[in-house]
């Protein structure tokens, strides 16, 4: 079963627009919610993360919004640029042994000129 559900599968945004990617989770034991960015031929790289006791975190053009009661979180990319074109994965970390990350299925973002 998919513990972290991510949508949309793909997204096309015009340069300067806002990109929004959504994720939902079931396991209330998750204690960190990071986002990873992956360019073709590369491994994913940490972009930004949030704890469940915080409703919003912003780093530059990237913002995570977190709704604990709805068990949902989203990534907003403001002023989207062609260089943001990549695959984005939401993830959730289990507390306890292993510190394992469970990933969403990914969103392929294309920012057009």
Partner 1 sequence: NAGVTQTPKFRVLKTGQSMTLLCAQDMNHEYMYWYRQDPGMGLRLIHYSVGEGTTAKGEVPDGYNVSRLKKQNFLLGLESAAPSQTSVYFCASRWLNYGYTFGSGTRLTVV
29 binds partner 1 per the rule CB under 8 A: no
Q: How far is the CB of 69 from partner 1 (least distance, A)?
A: 22
User: Which of the stretches 14-22, 34-42, 61-69, 74-82 binds partner 1 when contact is defined by CB under 8 A?
Assistant: 34-42
Comparison of 2 and 67: residue with beta carbon closer to partner 1: 2
**Distance, CA of 74 to chain centre:** 6
**DSSP string computed for 51-109:** -TT-SEEEETTEEEEEETTTTEEEEEESS--GGG-EEEEEEEEESSTT--EEE---EEE
Specify the residue, 9 or 28, whose C-beta has the smaller distance to partner 1. 9
Instruction: Based on the shown chain and the rule CB under 8 A, indicate whether residue 78 belongs to the binding site for partner 1.
Output: no
Distance CA 2, CA 65 (A): 21
Residues from 35 through 54 that contact partner 1 (CB under 8 A): 41-46, 49
Q: How far apart are alpha carbons 37 and 90 in whole angstroms? A: 9
β-pair type (56-59, 62-67): antiparallel
Shortest Cβ 41–partner 1 spacing (Å): 7
Interface residues toward partner 1, by CB under 8 A: 6, 9, 32-34, 41-46, 49, 89, 91, 93, 97-106
């Amino acid at each position: 079963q998919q513990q972290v559900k991510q949508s949309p599968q793909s997204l096309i945004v015009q340069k300067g627009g806002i990109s929004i990617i959504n994720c939902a989770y079931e396991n209330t034991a998750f204690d960190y919610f990071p986002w990873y960015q992956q360019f073709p031929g590369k491994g994913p790289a940490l972009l930004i993360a949030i704890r469940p006791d915080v409703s919003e975190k912003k780093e530059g053009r990237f913002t995570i919004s977190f709704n604990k009661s709805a068990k949902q979180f989203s990534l907003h990319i403001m002023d989207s640029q062609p260089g943001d074109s990549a695959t984005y994965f939401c993830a959730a970390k289990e507390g306890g042994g292993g510190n394992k990350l469970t990933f969403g299925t990914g969103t392929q973002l294309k920012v057009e000129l």
